[in-house]
Each structure stands twice: as C-alpha cells, then as structure tokens.
A and B are shown apart, each in its own frame.
Chain A
C-alpha cells in the first residue's frame, strides 16, 4: 500500500524560473493538502484541494503560487518566477473523506532550492 508520493524530491531553480511540484495521494484518498516548511521553522498550511476543486487557499501567497488537483493525475503546486525566499521544503499530505478525514498522511517532501 504505497504512501503519499512526491516528486521531484529535490528541485533546483534559478530566480525567475518556474517550479512544478507533484503529489500523488495515498490510494483511496481524495483530499490533498500542501504545506511549506522554511528552514528551522514549523509547517505552514498553504492550500487544501479535492478532486477538481480548491477548498481552502487561505495560506497561499497571493501572487506566483497556484495549485490544482485534476480529475486524473497528481496534484500540482506551481510556483512562477521563483525567488530565493521560496527555498523551502514543500510537503503534500492526503486524507480520506469521512469521519477520519482529519488524519493526514505526509509525503517525503520536495526540497526546493532557488539559486
């Protein structure tokens, strides 16, 4: 039973480039969450998605960041025109609908470095 999968695990971009981070939830999970972890800090909520819908994007920066979870395929977190401050670990978590939906299981993360 595969867990949450994220790729790439490490991503290096130069300032101004685009970063695309992918997340495949656990089998049977239809809820996806993205969190960001800055160096030496805790995790900060970014966005919550269900298939084809953004449910809560209250933690997303207003510009350059977007997320999607299409009907088919992985969830994508997209960062346009990256800046050095975007360097962080980005974690995806998934959960199942129903009474246990609070239980979120995390992927290994994508570590983004902006040069």
Chain B
C-alpha cells in the first residue's frame, strides 16, 4: 500500500500553544519522512524530515516524533505563532523508487493571537 493518512484535517491553536499533527503509513519500505509547509498561493516548502533510524528530530520549534513499530510519525510545533498558520503536509518515500513523495491529505493550521 502506498497510502499516507494525515490528521486532523484542520487545527486551531492559541498563540504560544503546541500544534500536533499526526500521520500514519502502511508501507514498511518507506525510509524517508518529510514535512512540508504551504502558504496560500505558494509552493510547499521543506520544513523538517526524518529517517527511520532515529525516533526524534528537532529543529528550532519544530520536532518530528517517529514510531516505527506503530508506523506513525508526528509534527510538533512548540510555541505556535500566527505566522505558522499554513497548511502542513506529511509525506513518505522509498529510496529504491526514485524518491517520489506520497503525501498526506494536509492539515490546515490556524494559530489565533
């Protein structure tokens, strides 16, 4: 199976709060899991990515948690800011498939001041 399921579809968080977006995958051959941020009218921008040999990766306010046995990974945005309001996509790919990305359905995040 090639599917990546993302939840929630939309999320409202107060400024300073923690935003959490979850993704689940089925294909155990996936070996690269990026998160992209997309603002209206713009292209997706690579935010942070993880490979399955680690369980967590942190870059600034953004953290990916990865649970290989559960086939799940999540994005945590600490100290959420109104400027973080965007649509977030998780994705997965396989090395031996040329790296084509299989995307989740997206989460529209709104951070209220």
Contact = CB atoms under 8 A, between A and B. Distances in A.
A107 B45 CA distance: 9
A108 B102 contact: no
Contacts of B102: 45
A48 interface: yes
B43 A102 contact: no
A103 B44 contact: no
Interface range on chain A (Cβ under 8 Å from partner): 20 to 34
A43 B99 contact: no
Contacts of A6: 43
B39 to A, nearest CB: 11
Contacts of A41: 105-106
A69 interface: no
A52 interface: no
Contact of B99 (A31, A35, A44, A109): A31
Contacts, number: 63
A24 to B, nearest CB: 13
A88 B45 CA distance: 19
Interface in B37-58: 42-46, 49
Contacts of A95: 99
A41 B105 CA distance: 6
A41 B106 CA distance: 7
B44 A48 contact: no
A102 B98 CA distance: 8
Interface of A: 4, 6, 31, 33, 35, 41-45, 48, 55-56, 58-59, 91, 93, 95, 101-109
